[in-house]
Amino acid sequence: MKRRPGSVFEVVCAFLTLSCCFGFYLPGLAPVSFCGEESDDCKKEIQLFVNRLDSVESVLPYEYDVFDFCQDAQELRPSENLGQVLFGERIETSPYKFALYKNKECEKVCTKSYDVSKPEEKSKLDFLKKGIQLNYQHHWIVDNMPVTWCYNVEDGQKYCNPGFPIGCFVDGNGHPKDACVISAQFNGKNTYYMFNHVDITITYHSGEEEGWRGARLVSATLEPRSYKHEDENKPLCDGEPMSISGDPNSNAKITYTYSVRFEKNNQIKWASRWDYILVSMPHTNIQWFSIMNSLVIVLFLSGMVAMIMLRTLHKDIARYNQVDQEDAQEESGWKQVHGDVFRPPRRGMLLSIFLGQGTQIFIMTFITLFLACLGFLSPANRGALMTCAVVLWVLLGTPAGYVSARMYKTFGGEKWKTNVLLTALLCPGIVFADFFIMNLILWVEGSSAAIPFGTLIAILALWFGISVPLTFAGAYFGFKKKAIEHPVRTNQIPRQIPEQSFFTKPLPGIVMGGILPFGCIFIQLFFILNSIWSHQMYYMFGFLFLVFIILLITCSEATMLLCYFHLCAEDYHWWWRSFLTSSFTAFYLLVYAVHYFFSKLQIIGMASTILYFGYTMIMVLIFFLFTGTIGFFACFWFVSKIYSVVKVD
């Protein structure tokens, strides 16, 4: 049957996509107007902010001042939220300050001289060369908007990069690296070329005809240049590029300059000023189709799984209820284990702890993605995504404690103090220990991503001061309620499990169970890993939310189907298996992350490698708890449902 145009499916997809691409300012970042003179509703000076520098060849970001660039005499740091601190963003003012409508040509900022006979200056120059060789990128901000470097790529398309390199390197064989390929002037062997000049273009929307004063900035772009200024007091932005010899005993002198030009464009609205950046993201047009195609395939497969499962069960239950009890037991195997199917699992304490933590992560993820779809957690609102996730996790300790305690009581456990303590401390403790070790490495390397000691204390205060008490409160209500009642009684003597075929043994079923859920996320996973490790902007929260819903459905249906097959084989050990079947998707996530590291990234250095896999293990653990919890509760509902429908004693 053809789906008619304008169906509910299309409307939902269109709403989610548009709300994420064009709804950044709906929740409310207020526009700022700039005028030729200062007033209450208008700013005169346009301040350029600088953020941390990062590289695709290193996981270690560094602050702007570490590279000894020109600094602001009155350096100020705007207040940063928790998410910005955790992501290592270090925003500060720069000496680049502009007045609206006033164009400037080859304006000097400062001059830096390096005498290699002085150890301190030699160390600074060596660090600058290392940054050029690793292709570290500037990230500048004007009016809360990234200053982009736009250039043409394949097929005449324009790509706008929210960063630009500090320089480039030509090796001893004369092979240019990175940005040195853009010009034949970069031809010296074993030479570093510094981008010490930028041509900045600021586009504004005038309010003359719209009832508000001044102008609002709608784009900021630049072109990095390299010029060797012979006279630092009278710089001329032409001639040879600014080169630094690869000889460690050579001195260097760098003069930094800039040009700024203002352009009026009333066709671009302030609310849509991010569009030119998002539209130019690499492979975006192709991936829209690929993601939708993946969603349709996963929906089709999920529908097939549901149809096969429901038709088989309906036929099986109907036939069982129409014949005598003895005949039914001879016909089918899943009914013969009704006296053992709700037998408490081994290590029920650990399973209940995982379920509590998984519930906490699931609710946190759902609310975070929903808010992101509404535009509250857009890239324009820096650090909001991580801040929201951390705050939600802290406040959701009550559901974690409640679910863990309730399930542990259902399993017949009696060590309630141990249960609640481990629920509050085990998984968060593993994550914090991993995070702390990674932070020590960042601190030793002098990276800006190292979390300050005060912030670590604040995180511990949130954990022990809010999350742990809320977990205890949830556990109190969970233990206070009676255990979940099962539809059938459990026999005193366990039934012997017959010899299983290869496909109904635990390990093959668990390995197969994670394939389908991983198939619905690997495209989005590529974009997510790119945004984390390749420093690309992620904004497709609408499609991510749809993939999230599809992942829930797929994990549930795959787990229920395999659980049914195992029960038919008279294997009633489904508790742990239902959790591990869907959580094995995390293993495929780990394999994909390893593949991504070796095939897509250019990361070098032991510290960067350890950091990559250290943070990856945190992601894998969170995904393990999340998917396992979804599969378990889907299977728990499924088993309770089928054994409550049939007439078993």
Residue 498 located in a structural domain: no
Asked if pLDDT for residue 20 goes beyond 50, the answer is: no
Domain count, the chain: 3
- What is the torsional sign of CA 116, 120, 124, 127? positive
- What is the torsional sign of CA 67, 72, 73, 77? negative
* Inter-residue contact 61 to 54 (CB < 8 Å): yes
Q: What burial letters (b/e) apply to 401-410, b meaning 16+ CB within 10 Å?
A: bbbbbbbbbb
Residue 135, amino acid: N
Q: What burial letters (b/e) apply to 476-493, b meaning 16+ CB within 10 Å?
A: eebbeeeeeeebbeeeee
Lowest mean pLDDT among 65-74, 155-164, 609-618: 155-164
| Residues 6 or more apart whose Cβ sits within 8 Å of residue 120 | none
Which 8-state DSSP code applies to residue 539? -
Distance between CA atoms of 389 and 433, rounded to whole angstroms? 19
Q: Which ranges of 378-536 would DSSP assign to H, the alpha helix?
A: 384-395, 397-410, 416-444, 453-462, 468-480, 506-513, 515-519, 522-533
Which 8-state DSSP code applies to residue 450? S
Residue 369 located in a structural domain: yes
> Which pLDDT score is estimated for 15?
35
pLDDT digits (tens, 9 = 90+) for 125-138: 999 999 999 999 99
Instruction: Using the 3D structure, point to which of 224, 250, 279 is the last residue of a domain.
Output: 279
Distance between CA atoms of 228 and 252, rounded to whole angstroms? 11
Asked if pLDDT for residue 221 goes beyond 80, the answer is: yes
Residue 493 located in a structural domain: no
Most confident range, picked from 484-488, 569-573, 626-630:
626-630
pLDDT band at residue 290, thresholds of 50, 70 and 90?
A: low
> Which pLDDT score is estimated for 19?
39
Lowest mean pLDDT among 245-254, 438-447, 473-482, 559-568: 559-568
Which 8-state DSSP code applies to residue 61? E
Asked if pLDDT for residue 294 goes beyond 50, the answer is: yes
Residue 490 located in a structural domain: no
Which phi and psi angles does 171 have, rounded to 5°? -75, 180
Give the mean pLDDT of 167-195: 87
Asked if pLDDT for residue 9 goes beyond 50, the answer is: no
pLDDT digits (tens, 9 = 90+) for 405-432: 999 998 888 888 999 999 999 999 999 9
Unique residue bearing structure tokens 């590029």? 241
Q: Are residues 5 and 144 in the same domain?
A: no
Q: Are residues 198 and 272 in the same domain?
A: yes
pLDDT band at residue 155, thresholds of 50, 70 and 90?
A: low
Q: Are residues 338 and 363 in the same domain?
A: no
Asked if pLDDT for residue 466 goes beyond 90, the answer is: yes
Q: Are residues 152 and 219 in the same domain?
A: yes
Tell me the sheet residues that pair with 150: 160
> Which pLDDT score is estimated for 428?
94
CA dihedral angle for residue 428, residue 430, residue 432, residue 436, rounded to 10 degrees: 180
Q: Among residues of the chain, what percentage have pLDDT more than 90? A: 36
Rounded to the nearest integer, the mean pLDDT of the chain is: 83
Q: Are residues 542 and 640 in the same domain?
A: yes
Asked if pLDDT for residue 7 goes beyond 60, the answer is: no
pLDDT band at residue 120, thresholds of 50, 70 and 90?
A: very high
Give the mean pLDDT of 168-182: 86
The token duo for 605 is: 């250095």
Residue 423 located in a structural domain: yes
Q: Are residues 569 and 609 in the same domain?
A: yes
DSSP annotation string for 171-205: -TTS-B-GGGGG-TT---TTEEEE--EEEEEEEEE
Q: Are residues 305 and 428 in the same domain?
A: no
Q: Are residues 404 and 533 in the same domain?
A: no
Contacts 24+ apart (CB under 8 A), 458-464: 458/82, 459/390, 459/432, 460/432, 462/390, 462/394, 463/394, 463/428, 463/432
Q: Are residues 42 and 191 in the same domain?
A: yes
What is the phi-psi region of residue 497: left when phi exceeds 0, alpha when psi lies from -120 to 50, beta otherwise?
beta
* Inter-residue contact 196 to 220 (CB < 8 Å): no
Q: Are residues 23 and 39 in the same domain?
A: no
Give the mean pLDDT of 492-508: 76
Residue 284 located in a structural domain: no
Residue 496 located in a structural domain: no
Q: Are residues 252 and 165 in the same domain?
A: yes
Could you tell me the residue range of the domain that residue 536 belongs to?
295-342+509-649
pLDDT band at residue 87, thresholds of 50, 70 and 90?
A: confident
How distant, in Å, are the alpha carbons of 38, 337, 420, 425 from that of 567?
76, 7, 32, 35
Asked if pLDDT for residue 13 goes beyond 80, the answer is: no
Residue 502 located in a structural domain: no
Asked if pLDDT for residue 198 goes beyond 90, the answer is: yes
Specify the higher pLDDT residue, 464 or 382.
464
Lowest mean pLDDT among 76-80, 185-189, 368-372: 76-80
pLDDT digits (tens, 9 = 90+) for 307-358: 766 766 676 667 666 655 554 444 456 677 777 788 888 888 999 999 999 9
Asked if pLDDT for residue 26 goes beyond 80, the answer is: no
Give the mean pLDDT of 103-118: 91
Distance between CA atoms of 366 and 467, rounded to whole angstroms? 19
Q: Are residues 520 and 579 in the same domain?
A: yes
DSSP annotation string for 557-572: HHHHHHHHHHHHTT--
Most confident range, picked from 19-28, 77-86, 488-497:
77-86
Asked if pLDDT for residue 212 goes beyond 60, the answer is: yes
Strand duo 252-264 + 197-206: pairing: parallel
Distance between CA atoms of 439 and 54, rounded to whole angstroms? 17
Instruction: Using the 3D structure, point to which of 452, 485, 518 is the last residue of a domain.
Output: 485
Lowest mean pLDDT among 112-121, 406-415, 520-529, 612-621: 520-529
Give the mean pLDDT of 466-487: 89
Instruction: Using the 3D structure, point to which of 485, 520, 548 is the last residue of a domain.
Output: 485
